[in-house]
């Protein structure tokens, strides 16, 4: 569920999302707390939609693992987010201030997005927003002349000649 004008490639959201994938995999309550803080910090429709979609994906992942207690926690959190859905403007978004984040945080984000994007490109799907964001991130990290970035450019070119077989889950 993506509304027109709302991008999930907001730097603050992406850094948070990527950081939650690794170290906190076993601590659902802590993950939810970080995500809740992100929304509460500056409640907006943009942030609400990012969090809500992330929670839907998380719920799908936990359903696959048949972990009923954790599913209930996520479902209650989803109900909460439905009840606080703000009616604020789409135009509110944070400025991408790369200097607010460490090189390690940005490199973790680069690796995470590169991996996801690579899988999409191999399946013939070129996600324009993701690739634009990766280009900006690569420029900031000074990776534009790196082997990885050259591989990314080649994958993009090759994806133009591959039938799109990527399917989104929701």
Instruction: Assess if residue 169 is contained within a domain.
Output: no
Which of 27, 49, 83 is the last residue before a domain boundary? 83
Owner of token pair 């939609």: 49
Segment 119-163, tens digit of pLDDT = 999 999 999 999 999 999 999 999 999 999 999 999 999 999 999
Domain around 151 = 98-159
Local confidence band at 61 (pLDDT 50, 70, 90 cut-offs): confident
69 lies in the same domain as 130: no
Q: DSSP label at 8?
A: S
Q: What is the domain count for the chain?
A: 2
79 and 109 in a single domain? The answer is no
Q: What is the pLDDT of residue 111?
A: 95
**Confidence at residue 15, expressed as pLDDT on a 0 to 100 scale:** 95
Looking at the chain, the whole-number percentage of residues with pLDDT higher than 90 is 45
Check residue 72 and give its pLDDT.
Answer: 85
Name the DSSP class of 136: H
Q: Are residues 74 and 106 in the same domain?
A: no
Angstrom distance (rounded) from CA 77 to CA 61 = 15
Higher confidence at residue 82 or residue 14? 14
Residues 76 and 113 in one domain: no
pLDDT of 86 higher than 60: yes
pLDDT level of residue 1 (50, 70, 90 thresholds): low
pLDDT of residue 25: 62
| pLDDT, tens digit, 9 for 90 and up, residues 6-41 | 788 999 999 999 988 865 567 888 888 899 899 888
Nearest to 117 by CA among 101, 135, 144, 103: 135
Q: Minimal CA–CA distance to 15: which of 118, 141, 155?
A: 141
pLDDT at 78 over 60: yes
Indicate if 78 and 16 belong to the same structural domain. yes
Do residues 113 and 130 make contact, with C-beta atoms less than 8 angstroms apart?
A: yes
Does residue 167 form part of some domain? no
Q: Do 102 and 71 share a structural domain?
A: no
Q: Which residues of 116-139 are buried (b: 16+ CB within 10 A; e: fewer)?
A: ebeebbeeebbbeebbebbeebbe
């Amino acid at each position: 569920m993506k509304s027109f004008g709302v991008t999930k490639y907001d730097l603050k959201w992406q850094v948070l999302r990527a950081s939650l994938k690794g170290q906190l995999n076993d601590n659902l309550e802590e993950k939810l707390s970080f995500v809740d803080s992100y929304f509460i910090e500056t409640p907006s429709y943009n942030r609400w939609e990012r969090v809500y979609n992330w929670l839907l994906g998380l719920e799908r992942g936990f359903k696959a693992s048949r972990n009923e207690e954790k599913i209930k926690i996520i479902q209650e959190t989803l109900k909460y987010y439905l009840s606080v859905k703000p009616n604020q403007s789409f135009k509110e978004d944070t400025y991408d201030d790369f200097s607010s984040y460490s090189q390690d945080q940005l490199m973790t984000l680069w690796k995470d997005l590169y991996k996801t994007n690579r899988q999409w490109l191999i399946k013939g799907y070129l996600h324009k927003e993701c690739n634009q964001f990766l280009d900006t991130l690569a420029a900031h990290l000074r990776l534009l002349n790196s082997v990885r970035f050259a591989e990314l450019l080649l994958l993009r070119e090759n994806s133009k000649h591959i039938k799109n077989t990527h399917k989104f889950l929701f």
